[in-house]
Structure formats: C-alpha cells, structure tokens
Amino acid sequence: MNIYILLFDNFRTLDVFGPVDVFGEVSEFTLHYCSLVGGLVYSSHHVPIMTEVMPLTIFSDSIIFIPGGIGTRSLVNDVGFTKALTHIIPQASYCLTVYTGSALVAKTGLLEGKTATSNKKAWSWVTSVNPQVNWQYHARWCIDVCFYTSSGISAGTDMALGFVADLYGQERSRLIADSMEYVWNNQSYNDPFAEPM
C-alpha cells in the first residue's frame, strides 16, 4: 500500500515523523513524501524536506496522511488546496490526520457527520472550521469508517500504531513500539491531555 504524506510549509515536525517511524517499519507500506507542487517544504522547525509532486489520481488501496501545524491556519483558506484534498481523499482507502490536520479535512466537508478529534490547545479554532463534524474532545484518536484523526502531535504516533494494529494485529504494533522503545498508549479513548469540560 502506498502512503502519501502530504506536506506543506509550517507542518508540525513530530506530527509527521512519529508516524513515519511506525509506518516505515511496516514492509507492506511504501512511503511518499509529497506536496502539491513538489520541491523543498519546511516544517515549523525549519526542517527542509524534498517532496515529490502529489499525484491527483491514486490507487484505491492508497492512504493519505495529513499533518497539522501552524501552516494549517492559512492553508485552510487556500481554495486550491481544499479542492485538491476534496478530489484526492475519496480515492483513498484511508485518510489519517494528526493535530490540526483534521481542520484541513473538515474544510472539505468530507468529515461532516463523522466523528473526529484534534489538538486540545487549538480546539476552538479547529471545531469552528466546520461545526458539522461530530467533534470528540475526549479522544487520543478517533476512527470513523476510513477517517483516522488524532489529537495533538505525539498522539499521531499512538494513532499510527493503532492503525497498524487494526490492519495487521496488536502484536505487530507491539513489536514495532518495543523496537522504538516507545511506551504506546494503545487505547484511543485514553486522552491524558483532555481537561474536564
């Protein structure tokens, strides 16, 4: 399966590279680091990543991965980007988001009526992008059919392990987490950063 990691300037570094460290250990996955126009893209910590051009047509067993970060605040108003997401996401088997990446997908309307989550510290902004999404405050990550959306930054790594577990079993993810010396929070409802509302 191809995983298309869709990058943009000022994406949050760990949103991408925690999950990449998980997916990169799964031999069934081929990772593609993409952006809409290709070339160098910089994370919010100025990490320069060389990207391929994101293909607008993908195979149906593909996975789209969309990080968050401060760059989403302007990107959510980029009509061309939203149009591209609206075109690409329905072709994929799964769409995964981390942090404020769910705001970008919410903007397309594809999450309307679906359960999703996002970062706690950006909660008001993300949920305001599209109030028709069934936003879940208390969640490390949410699953609704093909959409996996995680809470903030580090939660993406837990979700990535959860996604691999859903496809290939808990033991597979447990082995990957152990090899990363990572203490995996494997319960999607266990959100240590959600304050009582």
User: Where on the chain is the footprint of a copy of itself (CB under 8 A)?
Assistant: 12-14, 16-18, 20-21, 23-24, 31, 33, 40, 44-50, 119-121, 151-155, 178-183, 185, 192-193
Partnered with residue 31 across adjacent β-strands are 3
User: Is the CB of 14 or the CB of 88 nearer to a copy of itself?
Assistant: 14
User: Rounded to the nearest whole angstrom, what is the least distance from the CB of residue 86 to a copy of itself in the complex?
Assistant: 27
CB of residue 180 vs a copy of itself: minimum separation in angstroms? 5
Residue number, 23 or 94, with CB nearest to a copy of itself: 23
CB closer to a copy of itself out of 112 and 178: 178
Pairwise CA distance, residues 149 & 175, whole Å:
23
Strands 141-144 and 39-42: unpaired
Shortest CB 196 distance to a copy of itself, Å? 16
Of 160, 130, 136, the residue nearest 148 (C-alpha): 160
* Contacts (Cβ under 8 Å, ≥6 apart) of 17: none
Task: List Cβ neighbours of 62 (8 Å cut-off, separation of 6 or more).
Answer: 1, 2, 3, 4, 91, 92, 93
Q: Which CB, 46 or 197, lies closer to a copy of itself?
A: 46
Q: How far apart are CA 80 and CA 96, in angstroms?
A: 20
CB of 29 to a copy of itself, least distance (A): 10
Pairing label, strands 134-135, 115-116 = parallel
Between 17 and 108, CB nearer to a copy of itself: 17
How far apart CA 60 and CA 92 sit, in angstroms, is 5
Nearest distance in Å: CB 83, a copy of itself = 27
